[in-house]
Structure 1
Amino acid sequence: MHIQDSRWGSTSVVAAAADGHGRRPGESARTTPLRVDAQRNLEHVLRAAREVFGELGYGAPMEDVARRARVGVGTVYRRFPSKDVLVQRIAEEETSRLTEQARTALGQEDEPWSALSRFLRTSVASGAGRLLPPQVLRVGVADESSDAVDLGVEEPRVPQQRVQADHLRLVEQRPAPAEEALDAGIGDAGASALLEVVGQLVERARAAGELRGDVTVSDVLLVIATAAPSLPDAAHQAAASARLLDILLEGLRSRPS
């Protein structure tokens, strides 16, 4: 289904043909319904893109997005002239979404562990981990390695070999162009905002003695990505996510010596 989404669409052309002033006698220009349809199509495309990329990764083709949105692929390309633009839009929205979830947990929970666990539960329940941009993980590793040097720590708190393996698992289904689009699109501002607020959650929980001393921001983001499986049945997916997150949270907590 192809819907003209320009404000100078076919409706306005027909109206213009009726008289010399762009409307029939006694009738106003009918561009608003067209804009409403275009906005509805945009919402369908964005929702479909989140679902498809969440299930198949950012390497999924635009045709799959159009099919899920029940629009023609031409409609998708009118809104997003290339797949890279759509990937950037979804990744930016998801990064912003995670940042807001972290800020909410930080502002509404007095107990450090409650704040961190609330953020993780909210993020996993929303399916955010399936759309977590790989660039955010790489930035997190770089930032924490630098912090370790500044603090005089002899070795990085996140073993590089382990992070690389986890990173590969997250993006192995995603072709390089999609990953490059994420790197180019999110920018330092969005990634830095997310890392800063999650870092506050981590530091508070660690200072309170409730979080293992070796747990980093990258570990927390990996928990979000790992505990958000994509299963065909929504109820099974929710149950599996909750169970897995419970296990992972137990692994994050510090234990009395």
Structure 2
Amino acid sequence: MGTIYRHFPNKTALVERIAIKVMQESLDEVRHALAEEPATWTAFTRVVRHMVRLRSSQLFPVSRGRAKEPGPELAGVRTQLLTALEDLVVRTQRAGAMRDDVNAFDVVMMLNSIPPRLPDMEGDSPTADLADRYVGVLLDGLRAPGSEALAQPAPGRREIDQFFRTVHGL
């Protein structure tokens, strides 16, 4: 604990630094995927899988319920990440690979609904990681053309900001 508090004045600062790191890594992945993948759907699935793996390996549960306004660095990297995800979704939709009735905020909310790796309660069996299974279901549901009409309009930036503030305190 002493080492942590020598580098961070409090738990909120530590959680915010972790969130900045995770969001920056995700932003970098979006940029690399768009530059390296030949098809936007491939870039999109690469980013989704990366973000789920990254989320499973991080300490976001420590931030639950910490409803404070994010600092300027966190707010800035979150805005950049959301903008990059919006661009990726729009490009994927324009390529005809993703349903037109979803947006990047839908994707963010869906990614946050995928549970992280389940803890190994018995100590002698491998940890159950169902994330890949749920990512497969998620991606299949996002593919164009989409056969199920969606009941509600897509969330916007206001809803995403409120979600992160109330659930993660970011």
Q: Common fold, TM-score beyond 0.5?
A: yes
1:84-120 Cα shifts (integer Å, max 9, x gaps): 2111111111110110111111111121111111111
Alignment-derived partner of residue 210 in structure 1: 97
Match of 1:221 among 108, 121, 127: 108
Q: Is the 8 A contact 2:19 2:74 kept in 1?
A: no
Secondary structure of the corresponding residue to residue 67 of structure 2: helix
What residue in structure 2 maps to residue 255 of structure 1? 145
Matches within 5 A, 1:76-87: 76-87=4-15
Displacement of 1:185 in angstroms is 5.2
Query: Would you say 1:199 and 2:86 are equivalent positions?
Result: yes
Alpha-carbon separation, structure 1, partners of 2:59 and 2:76: 18
1:91 counterpart (3, 19, 22)? 19
**Quick one: distance in 1 between partners of 2:3 and 2:74?**
27
Identical counterparts, % of pairs = 33
Q: Which has the higher contact order (CA 8 A, sep 6+)?
A: 2
Whichever structure has more helix as a proportion of its residues is: 1
Say if 2:26 and 2:50, in contact at 8 Å, map to a contact too.
no
2:42 to 83, 90, 114: 114
Name structure 1 gaps, 5 residues minimum: 1-72, 133-169
Partners of 1:74 and 1:194 in 2: how far apart? 32
Partner of 2:156: none
The alignment yields a C-alpha RMSD, in angstroms, of 2.6
Change (3 A) 1:198 1:180: same
Answer whether contact 2:89 2:103 (CA < 8 A) is retained.
Answer: yes
Counterpart mapping for 1:1-257 below 5 A: 73-127=1-55, 174-175=64-65, 178-180=66-68, 183-184=70-71, 186-233=73-120, 235-237=127-129, 240-255=130-145
Residue 225 of structure 1, CA deviation: 1.9
| Structure possessing the higher radius of gyration over alpha carbons | 1
Deviation at 1:235, TM superposition (A): 4.3
Matched length: 142
Structure 2 residue ranges without an equivalent (≥5): 121-125, 148-170
Measured at CA, do residues 230 and 185 of structure 1 come closer, stay the same or move farther in structure 2, by a change above 3 Å? farther
